[in-house]
Amino acid sequence: MSRSIPHLKSQFLQRLSEIVGEPGLVSDAQQKDDHDTDWLKKWHGRSCAVVRPASTQEVAQVMRLCHETRIPVVTQGGNTGMSGGATPDESGAQLILSTSRLRGIREVDPLNNTITAEAGVLLAHVQEAAQEVNRYFPLSLGSEGSCTIGGNLATNAGGVAVLRYGNTRDLALGLEVVLPDGRIWNGLRALRKDNTGYALRDLFIGSEGTLGVVTAAVLKLFPRPVARVAAWVGCDSMENLLALLALSRDTCGDRLVAFEMLTQASVDLIMQHITDARRPLANAHKFHALVELADTHENGLAEMLEGTLEQAMAAGYVEDAAVGLNIAQRQAFWKIREGISQAQVRAGKAIKHDIALPISKLPRFVADADAAVKKVKPDACIINFGHMGDGNLHFNVLMPLDTPPTEMSQTVKLLNRVVHDLVHQVNGSISAEHGVGQLRRDELRNYKSAVELDLMMQLKQSLDPNQIMNPGKLL
C-alpha cells in the first residue's frame, strides 16, 4: 500500500528538523506568512515549510534531502527583491530555504582587499565590516539594511554606485555554492587573476536561485573615500542632463561615484509621501540629478564639483543647483532619492520597467517612451527615475491604489509591450538590475533569441536536471 501525501510530508519535515534542529524551522504562522509573501505584497505563495540552516554543511544536507525527495527549493535572503524571485508558488509543495542564519563574516583581509562573508550577511553589515578595517565595500542600495549578500549575488544587484564600481558581479572574486544534489562547490578564491577554465562563478551570479544556493562569497574591498560632496541639480532636458554627465566624467574622472536622475513628477511624489523630505531647489525643473563625488582625501573635491557646475551653467546645461558640502546636506539629498520606492508603494500600484540602454540613447528613448505611453494611456502617471550614470532607468507608470486586478493586468501587458519594444529596438535590456524572477519570465521569451534561450535551458538542465531549484522563476 502506498503511503499518503500527509504522511510523506510529515516524514520530510521530521528529517528536516533532524538536520537543522528546532531553531532551524520556522514554526510561527505569522513568520511563515512573512516568508511566503514578498515585501511589495504583490506575490503571495504557500510553502510547505521554511528551513533556516545554520551552516554550509546543513544547507548541503537539506539539499541532499530535497534532491532525494524531489522537493523544490526557493532560496530566500532578505526578501527585498523586486521581481518575485524569492516567493514560492501557491501549491504548498515548495520549501523556502532562508539564509537568515548564515550570518558569519569568515575573513577580512585588508592587505588583499577582500572580505569573505556568508550569504545571509546583510549588505549593511558587510559595509560596516569593511569600514572597521579602513576599507570600503561600494555596493549601495536603498534596501541595504535588509537585503543579503547572497541575494545581491543571486540578482546581480546594481544600485547607486555602478558607474564607478560596477554591479555585484564586478565585486565578487569567489563563491561557495551548494549544488542541487547537495554537493558543495568551494570556489572561495580570493584572486584577481585565475584563468583555470570556465567562469563558474559568473554562472551562479545573477541566476536567482535557479542553479544552486550561494552560501558564501569573497568580495572585493576598496580604499575608503573619506571626502564626499554632492549636488542636487535641475535641468530642462535629458539632453542637457546627459551633457552634464559627460562633463562631470571629464572633469572629475573616477571621483564621480553617483549620477542619479529623477523627473519632476518623481520628486513631487516623494514630497507628498515621504515625511521630512525637503525640496532642494526653489523651482520646478523637468529633470533633476543627484551627483556625488568621493575621494580618499579632501583636497579640492568641493571646488571640483563647484567648478564643474559653473562650467555646466555657463554652457546652459544646468538651470539651478544646490551643493551639499556637509553630511546633513548630503543625507537630505539621498533621503529624497531613496524615498522613491516607498513613495510609489504609498501612492499607488507601480507598473515597473527596470531597463538598461546605452547612455547616449537615453534622451531619445525617454521622449519616445513618454509619447508612446501617453498615446495608449493619455492619463498615464509616468514616474521615471534611475541610475542614469550607468544607463539604467526605472521607467514606471503609477496606477491608482484601487485599480481592479483585471484592469491592472491588461494595462501591465499593454505598457510592457510599448516600453519593452522600444528598449529592444535599441538593443537594451528589459531587466537591468532587479532580475527576471516571476515578473519578467514571460517577457524574457519575447526578447531573447532562440539560441540564447536554448543555451540557458541547457545550462539549467545540466546543473539542475530534476528542476528543483526555484521552479517557475527566470526560465
Residues that bind ligand MLT (CB under 6 A): 142, 340-341, 352, 394
Rounded to whole angstroms, the Cα distance separating 180 from 469 reads: 7
Picked from ligand MLT, ligand FAD, none, the partner binding residue 99 (CB below 5 to 8 A depending on kind) is ligand FAD
Of 77, 180, 187, 472, which one interacts with ligand FAD (CB under 6 A)?
A: 77
φ, ψ of residue 144 in degrees (nearest 5)? -60, -20
Q: Are 341 and 268 in contact (CB under 8 A)?
A: no
Give least dist CB 352 to ligand MLT, A: 6
Under the binding rule (CB under 6 A), the answer on residue 147 touching ligand FAD is yes
> What distance separates the 2 farthest-apart alpha carbons in the chain?
85
Question: Which distant-in-sequence residues (6+ apart) come within 8 Å of 328 by Cβ?
Answer: none
Within 389-428, the residues that bind ligand FAD by CB under 6 A are: none
Give the three cell numbers for residue 89: 508558488
Residue number, 66 or 289, with CB nearest to ligand MLT: 289
* Long-range contacts at 365-372 (CB < 8 A, ≥ 24 apart): 365/393, 365/422, 365/423, 365/426, 365/428, 366/238, 366/393, 366/395, 367/238, 368/422, 369/395, 369/418, 369/419, 369/422, 372/418, 372/419, 372/422
Picked from ligand MLT, ligand FAD, none, the partner binding residue 352 (CB below 5 to 8 A depending on kind) is ligand MLT
Picked from ligand MLT, ligand FAD, none, the partner binding residue 472 (CB below 5 to 8 A depending on kind) is none
Give least dist CB 88 to ligand FAD, A: 10
Under the binding rule (CB under 6 A), the answer on residue 270 touching ligand FAD is no
Of 51, 62, 65, 86, which one interacts with ligand FAD (CB under 6 A)?
A: 86
Give least dist CB 375 to ligand FAD, A: 29
x/- site string to ligand FAD, residues 28 to 57, per CB under 6 A? -----------x------------------
Under the binding rule (CB under 6 A), the answer on residue 12 touching ligand FAD is no
Picked from ligand FAD, ligand MLT, none, the partner binding residue 266 (CB below 5 to 8 A depending on kind) is none
Of 55, 133, 142, 251, which one interacts with ligand FAD (CB under 6 A)?
A: 142
CA-nearest of 56, 222, 205 to 127 is 222
Under the binding rule (CB under 6 A), the answer on residue 143 touching ligand FAD is yes
Give the three cell numbers for residue 277: 523630505
Residue number, 158 or 187, with CB nearest to ligand FAD: 158
Of 36, 58, 208, 260, which one interacts with ligand FAD (CB under 6 A)?
A: 208
Residue number, 99 or 431, with CB nearest to ligand MLT: 431
Rounded to whole angstroms, the Cα distance separating 115 from 31 reads: 31
Distance from CA of residue 249 to its chain's centroid? 25
CA-nearest of 174, 303, 197 to 251 is 303
Rounded to whole angstroms, the Cα distance separating 3 from 419 reads: 51
Rounded to whole angstroms, the Cα distance separating 450 from 198 reads: 23
* CA–CA–CA angle 194, 195, 197 (5° rounding): 120
Q: Which residues bind ligand FAD (CB under 6 A)?
A: 39, 74-82, 85-86, 99, 119, 141-143, 147-148, 150-152, 154-155, 157-159, 208-209, 213-214, 341, 433-434, 437, 470, 473
